[in-house]
């Protein structure tokens, strides 16, 4: 079913809420957005007090080859906002189909999300999760407040990739085993 949504461009801060469609429209828009399947990443950095910071993110997108840029977005009220706005570097870890539990762990409250997770700190504070199928270490170039998210644009300074099947997020769930999905 098609739908007209009046999403106004609004000023940052409290005014942004006024641009939101009514609750029912927002729910339908969220469902429509979820029709787009994405990969899943964990974006990491280190806060000034040396705390390791990381969260599950599916708003990741490659942006430009020349220069090499990528983007992702953080919810404006996230507790990690200042860490990512202060840090000069962050790292995007792309998850394989075997890492759904890790994606869930980095999306829920936990004492220490990194506890027991093999990781390696890179120059500037980004953290590589060793089991990731790819990672991109970035210098932060821009942070843009857009609606209820902050878009971070990073310049890739180092990356690694290996062959594996990706973890897919679709219709608000992880597709861990796409062969069994196909048989349903």
Ligand X SMILES: Cc1cc2nc3c(=O)[nH]c(=O)nc-3n(C[C@H](O)[C@H](O)[C@H](O)COP(=O)(O)O)c2cc1C
Interface pick for ligand X out of 29, 63, 69, 107 (rule CB under 6 A): 107
CB of 43 to ligand X, least distance (A): 8
Q: Please list, in sequence order, all residues whose beta carbon lies within 8 angstroms of the beta carbon of residue 183, skipping any fewer than 6 positions away.
A: none
| Footprint (CB under 6 A) of ligand X, residues 40-79 | 40, 55-59, 73-75, 78-79
Q: Shortest Cβ contact with ligand X: which residue?
A: 59
Give the nearest distance from C-beta 158 to ligand X in angstroms.
22
d(CA 65, CA 154): 12
Q: Which long-range contacts (CB under 8 A, 24 or more apart) does 57-60 make?
A: 57/92, 58/169, 59/149, 60/92, 60/94
3 versus 82: smaller Cβ distance to ligand X: 82
Encoded tokens for 98: 């075997």
Kindly identify the residues of this chain, within the stretch 83-102, that bind ligand X according to CB under 6 A.
none
Residues that bind ligand X (CB under 6 A): 40, 55-59, 73-75, 78-79, 103, 106-107, 109, 169
């Amino acid at each position: 079913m098609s739908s007209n949504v009046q999403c106004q461009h609004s000023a940052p801060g409290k005014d942004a809420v006024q641009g939101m469609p009514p609750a029912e429209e927002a729910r339908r828009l969220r469902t429509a957005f979820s029709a787009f399947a994405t990969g899943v990443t964990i974006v990491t950095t280190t806060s000034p007090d040396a705390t390791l910071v990381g969260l599950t993110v599916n708003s990741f997108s490659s942006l430009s080859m020349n220069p090499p840029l990528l983007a992702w977005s953080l919810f404006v009220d996230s507790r990690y906002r200042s860490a990512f706005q202060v840090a000069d570097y962050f790292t995007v870890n792309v998850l394989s189909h075997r890492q759904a539990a890790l994606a869930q762990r980095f999306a829920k409250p936990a004492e220490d999300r990194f506890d027991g997770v093999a990781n390696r700190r890179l120059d500037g504070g980004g953290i590589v999760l060793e089991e990731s199928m790819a990672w991109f270490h970035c210098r932060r170039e821009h942070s843009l407040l857009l609606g209820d998210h902050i878009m971070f644009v990073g310049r890739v300074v180092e990356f690694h990739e290996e062959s594996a099947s990706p973890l897919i997020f679709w219709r608000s769930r992880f597709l861990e085993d796409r062969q069994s999905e196909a048989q349903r």
